[in-house]
Structure 1
Amino acid sequence: MARGLLWSTVKKLAPYLWEYRLRVALALTSLIVAKAAGVAVPLLLKDIVNRLDVHGPALIVPVALIAAYGALRFANALFGELRDLVFARVKQRAVRRAATAVFRHLHALPLSFHLDRQTGAVARDIERGSRGIALLLNILLFHIIPTIVEIALVAGILIAKFRLAFAAITFATLAVYAGFTLFVTEWRTVFRRSMNEMDSRANNHAVDSLLNYETVKFFGNEDYESGRYDAHLAQWEDAAVRSQSSLALLNTGQSAIVALGIGSLMLLAARGVADHRMNIGDLILVNAFLIQLFMPLHFLGAVYREIKHSLADMERMFAILDVRSTITDAPGAPDLTVSCGEVRFEHLSFSYGGQPLLDDVDFVVAPRSTTAVVGPSGSGKSTIIRLLARLYDPEVGCIRIDGQDIRAVTQKSLRQAIGVVPQDPVLFNDSLYVNIAYGRPGADMEEVRAAAALSHLDGFITALPQGYDTRVGERGLKLSGGEKQRVAIARTLLRKPQILLFDEATSALDAASERAVQEGLALLAQQRTTIVVAHRLATIQHADQILVMRGGRIVERGRHRELIAQGGLYAQLWALQQDRPAPANSLPSALPGLAGGDDGLLQALGQ
């Protein structure tokens, strides 16, 4: 499995390496030159020992050899540093591109994936995976390939200059060492995987707990949260101890194999000197080669372990890239062209997790008009918004904007034409300016101020000590619910979309703020197609069309006065909110699921 994962990983990294193929070629060339110079050093050392005659009248030959010896040492170091220098850009670019690719892919995955993911665990997987890429590239170029080159050169010299037994013992030692390392490291990998799993769980719990800091404090569950976190760390501790204990066994076995191999070769060389088949220089050459060969070989054991660890770290990150999105652009899809802004829902049906959420929903939103969608909780109101933004695709029917099926155009152009203000907006942990300008990155301060003024937020911001530079905190927790919602409205207005979608957009505002914002939205909506999902019926009584939903179906439609006159579900909801007796029909029987009902989509998800 490791070999397949290694090749799979190298294939995924290949495009990033190919971008700097000349640098890679130069780095490999420098590597070979450095190793050739390093292998030549013991050969010169042998000649120096054999030729150096301290009783002779002249030392010119040994001095020349010593000078060459120093030059080779310097060449080995120089080309080694050149390899590092040339490859640095390649390694860092590969890490950057891979991490960006995963990040981009996460944003391309459908909402269903993100409803199931654990943010802390995914973030940790990307962090470890990126680090694993850098480590793997370092190992491949700086350890594995150099060691292979060095083993090949040394083995060739031993076969050419000495008895075959020297090469046989060398290769036998290498084979035993590699086999032992492979066997024990495979056994140890399960501990590393367990460590990663426990580390991700602990990190995810920590992030989730801190994000819900107020909830923890309200319920006084600090000790409970600490206990859960410590339980994850205890499991990580056990796995880490087992990993370290098995590492000690591996190191001891490797040292024993290397010692046995070196001892056997030195014994063979000593006998050769005693039998006058080898001289002192040959003995020194063999010793130097053994040290030069087995030092990186001993390190190669640690390198192999790091490869296994890196692959285990990268496995989860690259697994994200293998997740396929169910919401994709059609091949050669054109951009959406919005001319007048007509929106058509044509016999739409949709279910999630086996539970039907919409059933044969069919209506038209005329250009530059406002359509409101109301109904009890769980009736499918918010699902309409998600389908129009193409966070999901319907199972039956289609949605058209100016006659274009939204599944046939690019998602980017669709969402550029749509502005959404959700019921519970989440802000970035940045300044107010950045959060408002997020609607149109690059907007200048005057445009941001204008959007803030339209959402009746400018006065609040200018009264702050840091004004628009005020940071809003994690998920905007430094702001009240109404302030967050006005920021969300401002950034949507800044976007200047042709189609506006409001999902309970003013539900967190007080009466005065809601009235002011509604006036601004009414002015804006005069030139745009607007769909409003509303709970407060007073905010949508002037809508051009009101759709009343129940159980995923449209049960009534018309203007406010028409629906009131009908005395149906809408009239009952209106009476309930106006604190007046409901019309003739029985309220409980007419409003099944009104009390205690979950939102349709969340109900389907079991939340």
Structure 2
Amino acid sequence: MTRMLRQLRPYYGAAVFILLLTFLQTMSELFLPTLMADIVDTGIAHGNIPYIWRIGSYMLLFAALGMVCSITASYFSARVALGFGRDLRSRVFSHVEHFSLQEFDRIGTASLITRTTNDITQLQQVLTMLLRMMLMAPLMMLGGIIMAVSKQAQLSLIFIVVIPVLGLTIWLIGRRGFPLFKAQQKKLDRLNMVIRENLTGIRVIRAFNRDRYENVRFDGASRDLADTAIRVNKLMALMMPMMMLILDVSIICIVGFGSFQISYGNMQVGDLMAFVQYATQILFSFLMLSMIFIMIPRASASAARVNEVLDMQPDIVDPVATQAASGTVSAVAADMNTRAQPADQANNHPARDVVLEFDGVEFFYPGAEQPALKRISFQARRGEVTAIIGGTGSGKSTLVNLIPRFYDVSAGAIRLNGHDVRELTQERLREGVGYVPQKALLFTGTVADNIRYGKPDATQEQLVHAAQIAQADEFISRMPEGYNSEITQGGSNVSGGQKQRLSIARALVRQPELYIFDDSFSALDFKTDAKLRAALKQETVNATVLMVAQRVSTVRDADQIIVLDEGEIAGIGTHHELMQHSEVYREIVSSQLSEEESA
């Protein structure tokens, strides 16, 4: 929690101003009972009406001052808390943007959403309360004790019993509340996960008539959270009656003993009334402290969860920015420009034709006992199409995810233009890659916005050209506003094939050196697939294409086909070479094509 408060550094000036206003408010409230005692003992007792009006006007003045200070302090404390929440939320979001997929897998998307929203909101609420009460409550308690002792020292001995009882009550309730607050946030994570899965998978749920099952699952998570919240609220609900009971008993004792002091002439009526008010202020300051102690455990649990995200360092980091590294990046940039050179000039540097190289690559998923990929070695050259095919779970998507460093290799090396991808900054590496994921993902915005996502400064002509190559221009033109037509969240207003073509156009507009198509033609019909591959061949003549596919018809014309089987390469070659030498490839072909088609 203290680490979170360090984030308040930009707001120190406003915080000091709030504390000053709180101090003035507290002083004005502490002075009011003394003025009231003077009115009773001097004004009312002696029938001095002018004195009553004069002291009464002072009371109004101090009350107005306290009100102005309270309103102003509340306004600025809200601004500081909201600014703190905004900055912290931005910091968490920015930090999460640097996570590799391993960190996302470790924490979970639903939990990250909860921590960025609900947990930070909890911290905001506690900060607002702290700014208003962390000075006011101790000042009110200390000032009240001083003023009460000044009125009647003997009667003040009652606080020696009351204050420890109050402190013990608060400590016992807080001690039991902290574990429950922590559990409540985890159960909120669980509920968010169930809701998220339900909303994103609604089509599958309805297709299999699993609505009732999902309702039961949601009910279970919701009831689990509700039961914990009820336990917390029952515990916290005990706080107020306990405080009020102790307060009422204390006032009864004060009035009882005070009446004896008045009867013996040791105390005046006005002083007793002031003493009762000071006792109320002291006990209510304890009540404020108790509310802080109630909120702090919950905020501490939230702060720990937010700190866990901020403390988590991504496994994949950029190399140290040294002169050597800068030279490497410059060399890569120079290599990337070679694709614009004439063919005969490029032939003077045959090593530069190898754009992508896998050298003895192995990869383990975190916690896995067996490698997902083992002994993967191949080269992909400029101007060629390298296709990857294999059965489900053979490691095709895992292989291509290693190139843009979504994960890092466990052994071996991946080289881009002769440079290990781990030696490049992630930004520089990914600038040279056009990636089309297996699951087409579109963002809220227009069609043009989604295509331009690959190249923010792309012109309209470049957008149209990329859409034409991706065979998307035809259906875009039929949309009501063409390229300015809106895409809803997740691309729900376009078909699966249209989403795939827009994703392909997004990669094409970037004009990268290396294209990665991760099973990106699966939703296309055979005619569109053939037209798209023919257009791609002309467009990517100076680039390297890495294509993952399930259909043999998509990869049979590739310059090089890599067959994967259980994470290992089972064959490399052209379609005709693999038909002769690779049994795994022949099995895949025979399962999809007739003998005449496979020949």
Please say whether Structure 1 and Structure 2 have the same fold, judged by a TM-score greater than 0.5. yes
Bigger shift: residues 515-524 or 22-31: 515-524
Shift of 1:182: 2.0
Q: Distance in 2 between matches of 1:239 and 1:583?
A: 62
- For 1:340, the equivalent position in structure 2 comes to 335
Please say if residues 126 and 292 of structure 2, whose CA atoms lie closer than 8 Å, have aligned partners that are also in contact: no
Shift of 1:501: 1.0
Deviations 1:267-290 (A, max 9, x none): 343333333233233223212212
Bigger shift: residues 544-553 or 341-350: 544-553
- For 1:255, the equivalent position in structure 2 comes to 244
Please say if residues 13 and 98 of structure 1, whose CA atoms lie closer than 8 Å, have aligned partners that are also in contact: no
Q: SS of the counterpart of 1:137? A: helix
Q: Distance in 2 between matches of 1:543 and 1:329?
A: 34
2:30 aligned to 24, 39, 46, which one? 39
Q: Distance in 1 between matches of 2:289 and 2:512?
A: 59
The aligned amino acid for 2:26 is: K
Deviations 1:171-202 (A, max 9, x none): 54222112112202332445545544444433
Please say if residues 77 and 128 of structure 2, whose CA atoms lie closer than 8 Å, have aligned partners that are also in contact: no
Shift of 1:18: 0.3
**Structure 1 residues not aligned, in runs of 5+:** 1-8, 585-607
Q: Distance in 1 between matches of 2:505 and 2:94?
A: 26
Please say if residues 575 and 581 of structure 1, whose CA atoms lie closer than 8 Å, have aligned partners that are also in contact: no
Please say if residues 132 and 311 of structure 1, whose CA atoms lie closer than 8 Å, have aligned partners that are also in contact: no
Please say if residues 576 and 582 of structure 1, whose CA atoms lie closer than 8 Å, have aligned partners that are also in contact: no
Shift of 1:205: 1.7
Please say if residues 151 and 275 of structure 2, whose CA atoms lie closer than 8 Å, have aligned partners that are also in contact: no
Shift of 1:144: 3.1
2:25 maps to 1:10: no
1:506–1:77 CA distance, 2 compared to 1 (3 A): same
Q: Distance in 2 between matches of 1:265 and 1:466?
A: 79
Q: How does 1:65-76 map to 2 (within 5 A)?
A: 65-76=55-66
- For 1:602, the equivalent position in structure 2 comes to none
Please say if residues 125 and 313 of structure 1, whose CA atoms lie closer than 8 Å, have aligned partners that are also in contact: yes
Q: How does 1:382-461 map to 2 (within 5 A)?
A: 382-441=397-456, 443=458, 445-461=460-476
1:237–1:554 CA distance, 2 compared to 1 (3 A): closer
Aligned-pair identity in percent equals: 25
2:119 maps to 1:124: no
1:147–1:384 CA distance, 2 compared to 1 (3 A): same
The aligned amino acid for 1:351 is: F
Q: Distance in 2 between matches of 1:462 and 1:39?
A: 74
Q: Distance in 2 between matches of 1:533 and 1:140?
A: 56
1:268–1:521 CA distance, 2 compared to 1 (3 A): farther
2:105 maps to 1:110: no
2:286 aligned to 293, 297, 300, which one? 297
Please say if residues 357 and 552 of structure 1, whose CA atoms lie closer than 8 Å, have aligned partners that are also in contact: yes
- For 2:547, the equivalent position in structure 1 comes to 532
Please say if residues 571 and 583 of structure 1, whose CA atoms lie closer than 8 Å, have aligned partners that are also in contact: no
2:232 maps to 1:235: no
2:163 maps to 1:187: no
- For 1:5, the equivalent position in structure 2 comes to none
Q: SS of the counterpart of 2:402? A: helix
The aligned amino acid for 1:395 is: S
- For 2:390, the equivalent position in structure 1 comes to 375
Q: How does 1:268-307 map to 2 (within 5 A)?
A: 268-307=257-296
Bigger shift: residues 430-439 or 441-450: 441-450
The aligned amino acid for 2:333 is: V
Query: What TM-score does the superposition give when structure 1 sets the normalisation length?
Result: 0.85
Bigger shift: residues 72-81 or 285-294: 285-294
Please say if residues 140 and 285 of structure 2, whose CA atoms lie closer than 8 Å, have aligned partners that are also in contact: no
The aligned amino acid for 1:348 is: V
- For 2:140, the equivalent position in structure 1 comes to 150
Please say if residues 418 and 499 of structure 1, whose CA atoms lie closer than 8 Å, have aligned partners that are also in contact: yes
The aligned amino acid for 1:153 is: G
Q: Distance in 1 between matches of 2:501 and 2:80?
A: 45
1:317–1:156 CA distance, 2 compared to 1 (3 A): same
Please say if residues 340 and 368 of structure 1, whose CA atoms lie closer than 8 Å, have aligned partners that are also in contact: no
1:166–1:391 CA distance, 2 compared to 1 (3 A): farther
CA RMSD, aligned part only?
3.1
- For 1:92, the equivalent position in structure 2 comes to 82
Please say if residues 361 and 554 of structure 1, whose CA atoms lie closer than 8 Å, have aligned partners that are also in contact: yes
1:275–1:523 CA distance, 2 compared to 1 (3 A): farther
2:502 maps to 1:512: no
Q: Distance in 2 between matches of 1:237 and 1:541?
A: 57
Bigger shift: residues 150-159 or 311-320: 311-320
The aligned amino acid for 1:410 is: T
Please say if residues 567 and 583 of structure 1, whose CA atoms lie closer than 8 Å, have aligned partners that are also in contact: no
Query: What TM-score does the superposition give when structure 2 sets the normalisation length?
Result: 0.86
Deviations 1:442-462 (A, max 9, x none): 656554333323312122122
2:567 aligned to 536, 542, 552, which one? 552
Q: Distance in 2 between matches of 1:442 and 1:76?
A: 57
- For 2:341, the equivalent position in structure 1 comes to none
Bigger shift: residues 482-491 or 309-318: 309-318
Q: Distance in 1 between matches of 2:433 and 2:153?
A: 77
Q: Distance in 2 between matches of 1:394 and 1:407?
A: 9
The aligned amino acid for 1:150 is: M
Shift of 1:345: 2.0
Q: SS of the counterpart of 2:373? A: strand
Please say if residues 129 and 315 of structure 1, whose CA atoms lie closer than 8 Å, have aligned partners that are also in contact: no
Q: Distance in 1 between matches of 2:114 and 2:125?
A: 16
Deviations 1:89-141 (A, max 9, x none): 32111111222233333333332343465544543343321220111101211
Q: Distance in 1 between matches of 2:459 and 2:4?
A: 40
Shift of 1:485: 0.7
The aligned amino acid for 2:17 is: L
The aligned amino acid for 2:3 is: K
1:145–1:467 CA distance, 2 compared to 1 (3 A): farther
Bigger shift: residues 491-500 or 461-470: 461-470
Please say if residues 572 and 583 of structure 1, whose CA atoms lie closer than 8 Å, have aligned partners that are also in contact: no
1:492–1:303 CA distance, 2 compared to 1 (3 A): same
Please say if residues 431 and 512 of structure 2, whose CA atoms lie closer than 8 Å, have aligned partners that are also in contact: yes
Q: Distance in 1 between matches of 2:224 and 2:570?
A: 55
- For 2:159, the equivalent position in structure 1 comes to 170
Deviations 1:574-596 (A, max 9, x none): 56544118999xxxxxxxxxxxx
1:463–1:312 CA distance, 2 compared to 1 (3 A): same
- For 2:348, the equivalent position in structure 1 comes to none
Deviations 1:454-513 (A, max 9, x none): 312122122123544555445334432211111111111233323211112212211121
The aligned amino acid for 1:220 is: N
Please say if residues 546 and 560 of structure 1, whose CA atoms lie closer than 8 Å, have aligned partners that are also in contact: yes
- For 1:221, the equivalent position in structure 2 comes to 210
Q: SS of the counterpart of 2:471? A: coil
Shift of 1:217: 1.7
Shift of 1:387: 0.9
- For 2:346, the equivalent position in structure 1 comes to none
**Structure 2 residues not aligned, in runs of 5+:** 337-354
